[in-house]
């Protein structure tokens, strides 16, 4: 039976773990934040790697002489050195479809919370027991507002559909989708809410930087449920501190976990116009059930020597030529 390593054990996958062990495989669970040298050591005799957040570097892959596949139980693949895996003929696959609607719902929920001033009102209720209708509690309607989407893939498309139910005007910037707005800054300048839904890669890192933030209205809100590094987070922090934006709702950060002290973004905790979420917009019972089922099927494909099914449209995964088959 195979030796399998699953990193990021804090994200529990009881169904996957139990099924792999029931099949007789040796399963090693490693914590989030494990050092590269320890992971490299653990990978020496490993045939299958399951990962979520832990970086999988060239050193780790090159030292794993028996490795048959890497399964990302989630969507983002920026932590994997895919070029090295491709050189060595090791298929890499993610699970891109399990939480499309889930994350879209999370983004819309955060947008609504910002618009309705939920954080400030909840704090007042917890502190004083009640809040009378005063100008400082005024919220805003979504209806009639403009939503700018940065990225119009599966999740962005779902958000656009949901925003339509609120009778919002929806714009989108995505160089890979025909008919979207060609100028990012022009779209930002028109938007009352900006929601980010693109993958993180070399082209999108700090895609929303200082100049883009300056293009936004001072009454606008930013929502990011994609990847922290798509936004220049220090520029965002400065814009919020200088009140050049009305607020933000963030579920993702370049450096995770976020922390109240000692983190570059610790100051966000004190801001009443910022909603912080611990990278959990994907985390529902239904989505996790789908994630476990798809992850286990990808594992079985690797372990049984079958071509691994790639459902992602990401060109980094679509460039693979060995050990994979493409669907969707």
CA distance 321 to 82: 12
Q: Rounded to the nearest 5°, which phi and psi values hold at 148? A: -105, 120
Look up 101 and say whether it is catalytic: no
Catalytic residue selected from 6, 86, 227, 298: 227
CA distance 115 to 177: 28
Catalytic residue selected from 256, 290, 313, 316: 256
- For tokens 């100051």, the residue is 267
Catalytic residue selected from 86, 197, 279, 298: 279
Residue 214: which of 193, 230, 235, 241 has the closest Cα?
235
Return the SS3 of 58.
helix
Secondary structure letter of residue 254 according to DSSP: S
Look up 227 and say whether it is catalytic: yes
CA distance 156 to 185: 18
- The edge-to-edge listing of strands for the beta sheet with 247-250 is 169-173, 146-150, 193-196, 221-224, 247-250, 274-276
Secondary structure letter of residue 288 according to DSSP: H
The residue ranges of DSSP E strands in the chain, in sequence order, are: 3-6, 26-29, 48-51, 69-72, 92-93, 146-150, 169-173, 193-196, 221-224, 247-250, 274-276, 308-310, 324-326
Look up 161 and say whether it is catalytic: no
Contact present, 23 and 15 (Cβ < 8 Å): no
Residues with catalytic roles: 227, 256, 279
């Amino acid at each position: 039976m195979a030796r399998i390593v699953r990193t990021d054990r804090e994200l529990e996958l009881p169904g996957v773990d139990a099924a792999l062990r029931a099949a007789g495989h040796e399963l090693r669970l490693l914590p989030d934040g494990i050092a590269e040298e320890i992971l490299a050591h653990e990978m020496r005799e490993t045939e299958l790697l399951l990962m979520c957040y832990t970086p999988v570097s060239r050193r780790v892959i090159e030292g794993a002489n028996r490795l048959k596949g890497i399964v990302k139980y989630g969507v983002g693949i920026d932590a994997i050195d895919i070029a090295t895996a491709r050189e060595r003929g090791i298929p890499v696959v993610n699970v891109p479809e399990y939480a499309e609607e889930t994350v879209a719902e999370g983004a819309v929920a955060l947008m609504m919370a910002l618009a309705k001033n939920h954080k400030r009102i909840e704090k007042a209720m917890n502190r004083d027991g009640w809040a009378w209708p005063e100008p400082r509690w005024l919220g805003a309607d979504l209806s009639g507002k403009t939503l700018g989407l940065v990225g119009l893939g599966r999740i962005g498309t779902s958000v656009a559909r949901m925003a339509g139910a609120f009778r919002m005007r929806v714009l989108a910037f995505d160089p890979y989708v025909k008919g979207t707005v060609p100028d990012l800054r022009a779209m930002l300048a028109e938007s009352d809410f900006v929601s980010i839904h693109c993958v993180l890669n070399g082209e999108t890192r700090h895609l929303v930087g200082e100049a883009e933030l300056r293009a936004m209205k001072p009454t606008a809100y930013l929502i990011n449920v994609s990847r922290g590094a798509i936004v220049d987070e220090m520029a965002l922090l400065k814009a919020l501190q200088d009140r050049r934006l009305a607020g933000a709702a963030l579920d993702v950060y370049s450096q995770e976990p976020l922390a109240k002290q000692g983190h570059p973004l610790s100051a966000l905790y004190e801001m009443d116009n910022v909603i912080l979420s611990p990278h959990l917009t994907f985390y529902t019972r239904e989505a996790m059930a789908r994630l476990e089922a798809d992850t286990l099927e990808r594992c079985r494909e690797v372990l049984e020597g079958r071509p691994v099914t790639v459902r992602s449209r990401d060109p980094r995964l679509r460039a693979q030529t060995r050990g994979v088959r493409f669907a969707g």
